[in-house]
Every structure is written in C-alpha cells, then in structure tokens.
Amino acid sequence: MKISKRGSIASVTELRSDLELFFEAVTNQWHPTENPDGKFPLNMAENNLLRRLLDSKVTQVMRTHAVEPWVYNYTGIGGSDEFLGSAANFIGKYIAKAEVEMENLVSSAGTTAIIELASWVLCDAGDVAAIPAPSYPVYTQDIHNKSAVERYDIISHHDVIELKHGPALTIDMLEKSRLEIEDKGKKLRLLILTNPDNPTGVLYTFDELKLIADWCIENKVHLLVNELYSLSMIDTHHPDLINDYNQQVQFESIIPYIQKTKSEYVHQCYGLSKDFGASGHRVGFFYSLNEEVLKAFRNVNAPHMVSNITQWLWMHILSDDHFINDFVRQNQKALTETYAIVVKHLKAHDIPFCPASGSLFVWLELSQFLPSNDAKGDHDLWKNIYDQTGVLLTPGDGFGHS
C-alpha cells in the first residue's frame, strides 16, 4: 500500500457530490451576449451581489493604510490581538448586541475549520453529532474526515409546508434522538444548529434557542450555534412576501444566553464567507466561555490560522462602521429583491417551498417531477435539469432528510 488506510479512504471520499460539476459550470458561466449557452451554477453558497462594493473597500484599505510590522511575523495561534479586538467589537455590535471579549474568541480559516476543530475538541472518535434535517451536506465530512464523529440527522418534519411556522425541532425530538443514539451504544456529544438555517432559511427564536440550550446543558451535550448567515436577512415585510409568513421573527444571537448562563456547553461560531461574500478569504470565529475548550482550540489551530495579511485587511474593514452599516443594508435589500424574484416564479408554477427569513437559500419541493421516487430518481432529476437547462442546483442527497 502506497499510502495509509486513512489516506486511501480520503482519496475516494468526495467532499460533496456536485463539486466537479460546479467547477465545470463556473468555467462556462452564462452571459447574455458573450456566452448565451453557458451554465448557471446555483449550488454553491456564494454571495456575489455586492462584489464591487467589497472590492472597492478592499482596494481602499490597501491603498490608504501602511501594512504594520506584526503582519510579517508569527502572531497568536488564535489570531492577533489587533484583529481579534476589531472582530470582538464587530460581533458584539452587529451580531450579539452585547459586549464580546476578545479573550473568548478564536479565529480560524473559515467556519469549515471551526466545525472540524469543534468536533475534534468536543467529541471523541465514534461519538455522535446531531443536526436537524435538512442540513448542510458537507457537515458530514467536516465532522468525520479527521475527527471520526458520526452524523445523526433529526427528522423533525416531512413536508415543506410544516416549516411555515419556523423550525420544527422540539425537546421531545432531542430526547428521542438521544435515546436512539444511546440504544446503539453511542454517545450524543454535540448538537449543531445553523441560525438562520442552511438550507431552509428558517430562524430559531431566542426562546427556542434557550430551551434547546437548557436541554443540552442538562444532558451535558455541547451545543454549537453556527450564525454564519446572521446578517443575511430577508425583509419579510416586503409587499410580495409578507403573506408567506405566519409570524415575523428577528434574528437573535445565542451569545447573550451564553453570557447569562456562563455555560461551558454552549458555543457560537461565525465567519465572513456569506454575509460579506468573502468565502475565498477564509475567516471564521469560534466564541466560548469554556477556557479548556479555548485552550484546546488554540493548541490545534496552527494549521488553520488566518493569514496575517487577511487579518490586517479585515481589522480595518470590520472597524469601519460606516462601511459595515451601508454594506449590510445594501446586501439585505439585494437579497430580498432576488429572493422575491425566485419565489414569484415558484408560486407561478405551483412549486412548494419553505419561506426563508434569512440565509442565501430557497428550499423547494420537486418531488412531483421525479422519474422515480427513490435516490436514483432524485439524482436523475437533478442531473437532467443541469443537462437540459444549464441550471446547477444542489442535489437532494446529503441533506439528511427523508
């Protein structure tokens, strides 16, 4: 054998089943005049709506600020003090709506790295992480490739319409899942929530988060709330959308409840990939009051450090309140307008969907078009749509839902 057993497994374990087609579509993107027969890659969570505005800000920072000496040297494994200070102020002001201490933050190379490190630090090999389904397909590899943590999908509902009232997850479902996992001789060690959710776009209310957090604390299960899309909100009062919602819910971060309970079992993460359309910059944050967890993160974070030049750049961007306020406002307006266009056409063709309150997604129901009601039919429909129209969606497999 030329490589290790784990290397052999990694060589045949796809990160996601649609990645190859994504890069194919990206190199052949549609243009109205230059490439009218091109592709529409809609399967990757990349927000390019305000690329010009971000590009202008990056250029302005690079031209008007001298690169500081610390950028060329080694800094803290979890991030430089200068960068973490600006990040703590930003997260506190715009996401948590509460004071955030930089000592409780670790920065890493995107939320992918954060999720991987969290599974490694919080769980042992063979432990289980529960995730409400449908959920981000690549969580499976994030928690398993190196940490060997198993994914358990909590099926909280079966029809898209059930999510019109928001997340369907209940404490009874959590308890049932815990018992099922324990009956198999496994240990539920981690619960991952994404708020706003990927891919449904639903929002957990603060009261719902508190109930879930209390259950996790009582059962000694670590709760990680991924708030990656917290500033990517849809204006649910938009005249074309307002009738889609049974209630109007605002995003509220889990951070104030972490601070209130001072629990060592509740954690939060965030990143710049989605709200700022900066996925290529690879910047993520982990927030916790658990000193042992923070020390562990810093001790294993070296391969995942954010480059100092990226830290320096975003230190200046995140400190510019005028830019942040303007960017968030314009981003939410553009997201709402594009979302309204999508759901207008779904309604016109009687395609059920989950009304999204935030994130970059529309979770829709295409079962009526399946050639066969099984995994093969699901995959065939997805591939046929791409082959016949050039529109690349995310395939249904991997979301963990029935």
pLDDT digits (tens, 9 = 90+) for 233-270: 999 999 999 999 988 889 999 999 999 999 999 999 99
**Maximum Cα–Cα distance for the chain, whole Å?**
63
H or E stretch including 131?
strand 128-133
Residue that is written with structure tokens 């989950």 in the block: 354
What is the structure's pLDDT at 246? 85
- The answer to whether 133 and 186 are in contact (CB under 8 A) is no
- The answer to whether 134 and 399 are in contact (CB under 8 A) is yes
What is the structure's pLDDT at 13? 84
Tens of pLDDT, residues 40-99: 999 999 999 999 999 999 999 999 999 999 999 999 999 999 999 999 999 999 999 999
Angle between helices 51-64 and 321-348 (to 10 degrees): 160
- The answer to whether 28 and 38 are in contact (CB under 8 A) is yes
For residue 332, give the 3-state DSSP assignment. Answer: helix
What is the structure's pLDDT at 11? 84
For residue 194, give the 3-state DSSP assignment. Answer: strand
CA distance between the termini of the chain: 38
3-state helix, strand, coil in the chain (%, to 5): 45, 10, 40
Separation of alpha carbons 194 and 173, rounded Å: 17
What is the structure's pLDDT at 218? 98
- The closest alpha carbon to 276, from 236, 321, 306, 231, belongs to 231
β partners of residue 7: none
Neighbours of 198 (CB within 10 A): 23
The angle formed by the CA atoms of residues 193, 222 and 219, to the nearest 5 degrees, is 110
Regions of the chain where pLDDT drops below 70 = 1
- The answer to whether 139 and 131 are in contact (CB under 8 A) is yes
Our measurement of the distance from residue 378's CA atom to the centroid of its chain's CA atoms, rounded to an integer in Å, reads 24
For residue 26, give the 3-state DSSP assignment. Answer: helix
Whole-structure pTM value? 0.95
For residue 270, give the 3-state DSSP assignment. Answer: strand
Provide CB contacts within 8 A for 58, sequence distance 6+.
Answer: 313, 317
**Residue 44, φ and ψ in degrees, nearest 5:** -115, 140
- The answer to whether 100 and 255 are in contact (CB under 8 A) is yes
What is the structure's pLDDT at 94? 98
What is the structure's pLDDT at 1? 67
- The closest alpha carbon to 180, from 208, 212, 154, belongs to 154
